[in-house]
Amino acid sequence: MNRAELLACPECDLLQSDSTVSRPRKALCARCGATLYQRHPHGLERTVALTAAALVLFAIANSFPILSLELQGERTDATLAGAVVALWSQNMQLVAALVAFTAILMPLAELAALAWLLVPLRFGLRAPQFGAVFQALQFAQRWGMVEVFVLGALVSLVKLGHLANVEPGIALWSFAALMLVMAAIEANFDPRDLWQRVAPL
Ligand SMILES: [Zn+2]
């Protein structure tokens, strides 16, 4: 039986065969040189560990203040959820919805989907609704924008510094760490490896 399978280049769409017998760590497109896939040893285990770390950081980032502001002797702490509620009540419903969607809902959906798919797979089991959750994961990865939020928060921190005494809170550091951990997840997560592990189950 011919066990070679076809791979399409994500950049130039060239179809090329990939031998499942001697699969290299990294495969490049024969025509344009784009990376077809890159395998990471223990990629699944690493992604599970990083997802657990990211969930802890996400919980901290949403439970503690992002910044403390002191103006005319009055001190205010702002959490992310508190900021969303404040934006909503100040007639900025669209901004509030965007912040809640891209900085809270989608990152949480991404981490939850990763845990749902990968933890059972780690024990050789296929999670229920695997395909649907995988699609939800791809959607959440496109819409999760923790890095944009961290950048925005840093810029406003610098700008507010002229007007009031502003101190970054523990949640801001957690968000910054979460941004790095989520980047590491996306670097380690290999959908190809995922589907190859699921296929025999
Ligand atoms: Zn190509």
Say which residue, 36 or 178, is predicted with more confidence. Answer: 178
pLDDT, residue 97, reads 96
Centroid of ligand 1 to alpha carbon of 32 (angstroms):
4
Q: Which of 129-138, 158-167, 191-200 has the highest mean pLDDT?
A: 129-138
Query: Looking at 2-11, 68-77, 141-150, which range is the least confident one?
Result: 2-11
- The mean pLDDT value for 167-192 works out to 93
115 neighbors 55 (Cβ within 8 angstroms): yes
User: How far does residue 27's CA lie from ligand 1's centre (Å)?
Assistant: 11
Interval between CA 131 and ligand 1 midpoint (Å): 27
195 contact partners, CB below 8 Å, separation of at least 6: none
Give residues whose Cβ lies within 5 Å of ion ligand 1: 9, 11-12, 14, 29, 31-32, 34
Mean pLDDT throughout 13-26? 78
Average pLDDT over residues 71-91: 91
Rg (CA), the chain: 21
Q: Are 124 and 53 in contact (CB under 8 A)?
A: no
How close is the Cα of 114 to the center of ligand 1, in Å? 29
> CA 189, CA 120: separation in Å to the nearest integer?
16
Question: What is the structure's pLDDT at 98?
Answer: 95
Q: Quick one: pLDDT at residue 99?
A: 94
Mean pLDDT of the chain, nearest integer: 90
Predicted confidence band of residue 193 (pLDDT cuts 50, 70, 90): confident
CA–centroid distance, residue 110 to ligand 1 (Å): 29
Ligand 1: distance of its center to the CA of 72 in Å? Answer: 61
Distance 16 CA to ligand 1 centre (A): 9
Q: How far is the CA of 136 from the centre of ligand 1 (A)?
A: 27
Q: Distance between CA atoms of 93 and 119, rounded to whole angstroms?
A: 37
**Cα dihedral sign for 173, 42, 120, 18?**
positive
Mean pLDDT along residues 90-111: 96
| Among the listed residues 133, 125, 112, 108, the one whose alpha carbon sits nearest the alpha carbon of residue 191 | 133
Are the C-beta atoms of 154 and 179 separated by less than 8 Å? no
Q: Which residues contact 68 (CB under 8 A, 6 or more apart)?
A: 75, 76, 77, 78, 166, 167, 169
Pair of tokens at residue 41: 């040893």
Interval between CA 28 and ligand 1 midpoint (Å): 8
What pLDDT is stored for residue 4 in this prediction? 60
Q: What is the pLDDT of residues 23-33, one digit of tens each?
A: 677 889 999 99
* Token pair for 195: 């589907």
Task: State the pLDDT at residue 121.
Answer: 93
Under 8 Å between Cβ of 49 and 35: no
Give the CB-side neighbour count of residue 68, counting CA atoms within 13 A: 8
